[in-house]
């Protein structure tokens, strides 16, 4: 840990331990949004924010917000935070580390009797992970005014998302979108191995990769597996296998550059899925992620050309690839990146710039304010698993960078106004 830093690692460790204990019985660590365990975690966070000197509320979008007024509230708000919900049987640190680090920044400022000129807010966004309603980033989309209206009618367990939002304290009568937030910063575990492999303390996130999901359907012909000659078959699985290998080859070529790119055949279904029947139909879903939009456009173009060539070679029909969802990359604010780099230098933190291959609440906050992230290492880059692990010292180092950056930002924003 950084010598003489007001950040106290023992408080961070205690916070994470306390939230880790709030989990579904026998399922470490499971605290999904809109469940009783999630609400219990929110109660704990509310008390912790209040003890740090914040006034707490649930905003109209269902986010838990702790507010510490600045000396000049008219300047607007600097917001820090992440999310406290988890995936099923997920990790203790994904999201939680960012909320706890933001809370620790607030405590460190209080301990030094420092009051910012801007108002400081610590936020726990609602349902960053895919929720029981099948959608994610519900709170940050609500705060940024980008939550689709039709989402409110989605149902799960006999209730709609609209009803669930009200149950957690949201308010659909008043507008959720904010216009007073001057900057947003989020700390998160990397969920990848770069920082660990390079023995670095912090990653300054250049961009959140755009995510495009593409459905590919292969239509072959069912035949008897024992009697149909090999040269007479229209095997959908064989053609699908060629396509999957092509996806991997194309993704590796694009990933060879300095910018982040990845593609995965993450869903795969086959019909009739019988041992003695030639496969008649295959559906696959490709998840592609690119730091640069041009790389995604190249991928989709070459994917279509490659599929057409494979279909011609095998004689099996492949439907035109269908883009199911398409979110562009979100670059971080250039000015915030410079502030974070400088904060790393002042705190003596070993750092580099990296891209995020995963989605985060920051991507939606960037729609309404300048926004950026920092990463801290996690063991072997593993996440969304009970084995997910980040050390207290690494989270504390990240919190020290956040603390320095917030104080610098408090001054910088006034110089720019």
**Looking at domain 9-208+330-416, which of 3.40.80.10, 1.10.10.60, 3.40.630.10, 3.40.50.300 is its CATH number?**
3.40.630.10
Is residue 41 within 8 A of residue 47, CB to CB? The reply is no
Distances in Å between the Cα of 59 and the Cα atoms of 165, 185, 256, 262, 319 are 10, 19, 43, 36, 45
Q: What is the mean pLDDT of residues 403-414?
A: 97
pLDDT in tens, 289-312: 999 999 999 999 999 999 999 999
28-73 residue pLDDT tens: 999 999 999 999 999 999 999 999 999 999 999 999 999 999 999 9
CA distance 337 to 354: 11
pLDDT at 2 over 90: no
User: Cα–Cα distances in Å, from 252 out to 255, 257, 282?
Assistant: 5, 9, 24
Instruction: Please check the confidence at residue 127 and state whether its pLDDT lies above 70.
Output: yes
The per-residue pLDDT for range 220-269, each reduced to its tens digit, is 999 999 999 999 999 999 999 999 999 999 999 999 999 999 999 999 99
Q: pLDDT value at position 143?
A: 97
CATH 3.40.630.10 residue ranges for the chain: 9-208+330-416
Q: Rounded mean pLDDT of 172-187?
A: 93
328 vs 326: CA distance, rounded Å: 7
Distance of alpha carbon 89 from alpha carbon 68, whole angstroms: 34
Six-digit token pair at 166? 């009200």
pLDDT score, position 1: 64
Report the CATH number of the 210-327 domain.
Answer: 3.30.70.360
Residue 32: both structure tokens together: 């999904």
Non-local CB neighbours of 338 within 8 Å, separated by 6+ positions: none
Each residue's pLDDT tens digit, 208-217: 999 999 999 9
CATH 3.30.70.360 domain range(s) in the chain: 210-327
Q: Is the pLDDT confidence value at 197 over 70?
A: yes
State the chain's mean pLDDT as an integer: 96
pLDDT at 175: 83
């Amino acid at each position: 840990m950084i010598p003489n830093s007001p950040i106290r690692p023992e408080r961070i460790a205690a916070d994470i331990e306390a939230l880790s204990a709030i989990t579904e019985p026998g399922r470490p660590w499971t605290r999904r949004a809109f469940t009783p365990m999630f609400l219990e975690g929110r109660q704990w966070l509310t008390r912790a924010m209040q003890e740090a000197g914040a006034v707490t509320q649930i905003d109209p979008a269902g986010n838990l917000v702790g507010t510490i007024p600045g000396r000049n509230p008219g300047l607007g708000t600097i917001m820090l935070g992440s999310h406290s919900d988890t995936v099923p049987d997920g990790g203790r640190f994904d999201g939680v580390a960012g909320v706890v680090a933001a809370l620790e920044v607030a405590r460190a400022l209080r301990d030094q009797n420092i009051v910012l000129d801007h108002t400081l807010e610590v936020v726990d966004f609602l349902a960053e992970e895919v929720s029981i309603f099948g959608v994610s980033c519900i709170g940050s989309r609500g705060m940024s005014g980008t939550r689709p209206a039709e989402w409110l009618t989605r149902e799960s367990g006999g209730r709609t998302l609209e009803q669930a939002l009200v149950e957690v304290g949201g308010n659909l009568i008043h507008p959720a979108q904010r216009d007073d937030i001057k900057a947003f910063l989020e700390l998160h575990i990397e969920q990848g191995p770069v920082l660990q492999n390079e023995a670095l303390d912090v990653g300054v996130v250049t961009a959140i990769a755009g995510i495009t999901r593409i459905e590919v359907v292969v239509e072959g012909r069912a035949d008897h597996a024992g009697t149909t000659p090999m040269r007479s078959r229209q095997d959908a699985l064989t053609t699908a296998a060629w396509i999957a290998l092509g996806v991997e080859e194309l993704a590796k070529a694009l990933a060879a550059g300095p910018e982040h790119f990845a593609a995965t055949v993450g869903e795969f279904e086959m019909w009739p899925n019988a041992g003695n029947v030639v496969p008649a139909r295959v559906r696959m879903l490709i998840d592609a992620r690119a730091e640069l939009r041009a790389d995604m456009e190249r991928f989709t173009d070459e994917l279509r050309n490659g599929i057409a060539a494979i279909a011609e070679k095998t004689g099996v029909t492949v439907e035109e690839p269908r883009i199911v969802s398409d979110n562009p990359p979100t670059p971080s604010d250039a000015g915030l990146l410079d502030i974070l780099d400088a904060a790393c230098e002042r705190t003596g933190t070993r750092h580099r710039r990296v891209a995020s291959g995963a989605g985060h609440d920051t991507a939606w906050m960037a729609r309404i304010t300048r926004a950026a992230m920092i990463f801290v290492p996690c063991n072997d880059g593993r996440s969304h698993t009970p084995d997910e692990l980040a050390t207290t010292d690494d989270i504390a180092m990240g919190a020290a960078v956040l603390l320095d950056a917030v104080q610098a930002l408090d001054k910088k924003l006034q110089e720019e106004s």
